[in-house]
Amino acid sequence: MTERVKVVTLGCEKNLVDSEIMSGLIDARGYHLVDQADDATVIIVNTCGFIDAAKEESVNTILDMAEFKQTGRLKALIVSGCLTQRYKKQLMEEMPEIDGIVGTGDFHHITDIVDEALRGKRPVKVGNPAFDYDQKLPRLVTTPRYTAFVKIAEGCDNACTFCSIPIMRGKFRSRSMESIVAEVQQLADQGVREVSLIAQDSTNYGTDLYDKFMLPELLNRVSEVEGISWVRLHYAYPGFFTDELIETIATNSKVCNYIDMPLQHSEDSILKRMRRPGRQRDTRELVSRIRASIPDVALRTSIIVGFPGETDEDFNRLCDFVREMKFDRLGVFTYSPEEDTPAVRLPDAVPDEVKEWRSNTLMEIQREVSKELSGKHIGKEIDVLVERYDGRSDVYVGRSPYDAPEIDGEVFISNCKAAIGEIQRVRITHAYEFDMSGEGL
């Protein structure tokens, strides 16, 4: 009987790409991929180990999947991803439910791991995380057919004191421009219209391969691929955000006026403890330059509250900063102490209940900012990528260039003439806190 394999993905979009490659390899081996875990004879859980909440979700998911050995058809439970890269010994010793593990630098060996596990062994393949994939590896895209994520680099060299990514993903490694463009061409040939470029540090792209910042050229090269309409940039490290990059986003019509740039904090003392680039003055100057060159840009950022040493005064100034900067999108994370990172040794830890209160307070401030900004597109004509039809309301639903897949707002369209996966010109008539509605043109 052909084995039936279910891949369960946790964590970020970079993990999703790894899962899609594993799915491609499994399919090429002749195994049958299934959608339902209770129908699978093999389950692969691709884990996240970034913060405590992600680790807990990963462990709970592993245990949930293991139950299908009693209630379903499951023969082998394989665990991959960041959690295995950090905790391979603990996982194999403390979770007998696991039949094999594979690390972040070895997932291209997934079919060998599956084969060995099905033969009754408990294979462990966790080595150096420095593997880099290219477009030659098979990949089964699991996002809607018109959009896909493209990993342009792996790992990180920035050594932020709170971050465990270098431990799990290794040093920063750019993919070659030729490999990225070739993959985008393959995706376009399959009907993809929107590509989101992802990396732990996208603005540093090219410095290791070409000895200079090459993200502007990469954006231009990707946008030249026939069939691609939108190119979206994620995880732009602020320390490497050059004027050339700003100009490229401003002048290239296919590059979305959307910048995902995690800042993590506003206060100089906290940024220094975090080992983040520059200081608040640099952030303000950068944001001013971006907005001056790209007036309709949508800026997304993320903030960490409760970092060791963050005082009430620091937090109050952070709140003032968020009110003043008026980011279009903002996510808030409570600091999670990660073993083997420098931040765990810092004094003046913030109590958990204070972290939670600060997180909720900052999100309430951002909600007020979002309400204030919600009407800025009313009366304008914008392009919308149509994603689905809502039969109950008799409207089509899509996303604007200012909204990334899964995490941002939607646009509800009446009188829509485009099909799913196509781009419709829309006049915005109403705006809500996160969503908009309009009429197709």
Question: pLDDT tens digit string along 284-317?
Answer: 999 999 999 999 999 999 999 999 999 999 999 9
Phi, psi of 335 (to 5 degrees): -60, 135
Q: Judge if 235 and 311 occupy the same domain.
A: yes
Please tell me the total count of domains within the chain: 3
Q: Judge if 241 and 319 occupy the same domain.
A: yes
- Give the CA radius of gyration of the chain: 22
Q: Judge if 362 and 384 occupy the same domain.
A: no
Binding annotation for [4Fe-4S] cluster: 12, 48, 82, 156, 160, 163
Binding annotation: 12, 48, 82, 156, 160, 163
Q: Judge if 53 and 65 occupy the same domain.
A: yes
Structural domain contains residue 365: yes
- pLDDT above 70: residue 118: yes
Q: Judge if 45 and 112 occupy the same domain.
A: yes
Q: Judge if 209 and 346 occupy the same domain.
A: yes
Share of the chain above pLDDT 70, in %: 98
Domain boundary (376, 397, 429) is at 376
pLDDT in tens, 359-383: 999 999 999 999 999 888 999 999 9
How far apart are alpha carbons 133 and 112 in whole angstroms? Answer: 17
Domain boundary (328, 353, 376) is at 376
Average pLDDT over residues 183-212: 95
**Containing domain of residue 196, as a range?**
147-376
Note the pLDDT of residue 36. Answer: 94
Q: Judge if 98 and 180 occupy the same domain.
A: no
Q: pLDDT category, 53, cuts 50, 70, 90? A: confident
Note the pLDDT of residue 137. Answer: 79
Note the pLDDT of residue 166. Answer: 87
How far apart are alpha carbons 147 and 128 in whole angstroms? Answer: 31
Domain boundary (344, 359, 376) is at 376
- pLDDT above 80: residue 14: yes
Q: Judge if 362 and 386 occupy the same domain.
A: no
Q: Judge if 67 and 153 occupy the same domain.
A: no
CATH of the domain at 68: 3.40.50.12160
CATH of the domain at 283: 3.80.30.20
pLDDT in tens, 159-178: 899 998 888 888 999 999 99
CATH of the domain at 413: 2.40.50.140
Note the pLDDT of residue 169. Answer: 87
Q: Judge if 151 and 244 occupy the same domain.
A: yes
Q: Judge if 61 and 95 occupy the same domain.
A: yes
Q: Judge if 257 and 158 occupy the same domain.
A: yes
- pLDDT above 90: residue 86: no
